Amino acid sequence: MKKIYVLAALMAGLLIFGQQAFGFGGPGDSGPGSSAMMPLPMKPPIVTGSDGTAYVESVNTAGTVSGSLTSNITAITSSGAKQAIAVNGKVMSLVMGKDTSSRDTLVAVAGVPPQSTNSTPGSPSTVLYFVSLPFNQSATPVSVSLDGMNASEPVFVNGFVYITTSSLTFSNSGTPGSQTSYLYIVGTNGSIVSQVAY
């Protein structure tokens, strides 16, 4: 029984360390003064293109784009050549698909920590990044901010991306409040075709 308690304490400590290391609070925690986030994946996402190029994500520790946490999306060819671009937030998943013109497109889903303004806590958000392939270091992804966190894996359908997000509010005392979920249909040009709360 003591071993179980020790294991539970160790797991709790690792969870707290992970949250502090990435500057986030607990899942769904968006109460005042908190720093909500979406759960971190067990391993970095990876996708491959039809030409064999691999696309991977890593946390960027060398600087920021427009916030306190950024990620690198790196293209690695079969010969070992690398090109990387930086995006704001922690990339949670990468998906390969085609836009309405059948061009290969990479979609990255990132969780962006809340940004406080004038001592007022901000809200975390989900950001989609669309990158036409192949890309180089000067590429500028098309970004789309979505309400809510805890995003689903995006799905490509006929050149559009379908994705769901959800958010759970907390009171000052930490009591869970209301939860809102959204279904989004987003074009690769950054246009939100549909947003439905459910």
Residue pLDDT, tens place only, 85-132: 999 999 999 999 999 999 999 999 999 876 655 544 556 689 999 999
What's the confidence (pLDDT) of residue 9? 40
82-88 β-sheet, strand order: 46-48, 54-60, 70-76, 82-88
Tell whether the model's pLDDT for residue 168 goes beyond 80: no
Q: How far is CA 43 from each of CA 69, 89, 92, 117, 179, rounded to the nearest angstrom?
A: 18, 16, 10, 33, 28
Q: HSE on the CB side for 129, CA within 13 Å?
A: 25
10-24, 89-103, 139-153: least confident range? 10-24
Residue 179: its pLDDT value, please? 85
Is 191 within 8 Å of 184 (Cβ atoms)? no
Q: Which pLDDT belongs to residue 63?
A: 54
| CA Rg value for the chain | 18
pLDDT at residue number 43: 59
Question: Which pair of structure tokens corresponds to residue 148?
Answer: 């809510």
Q: What is the 3-state secondary structure (H, E, C) of the chain?
A: CHHHHHHHHHHHHHHHHHHHHCCCCCECCCCCCCCCECCCCCCCCEEECCCCCEEEEEEECCCCCCCCCEEEEEEECCCCCEEEEEEECEEEEEEEEECCCCCEEEEEEEEECCCCECCECCCCEEEEEEEECCCCCCCCCEEEEECCECCCCCEEECCEEEEEEEEEEECCCCCEEEEEEEEEEEECCCCEEEEEEC
The mean of the pLDDT values for the chain is: 77
Round to whole Å and give the CA distance between 182 and 194: 10
Distance CA 40, CA 36 (A): 12
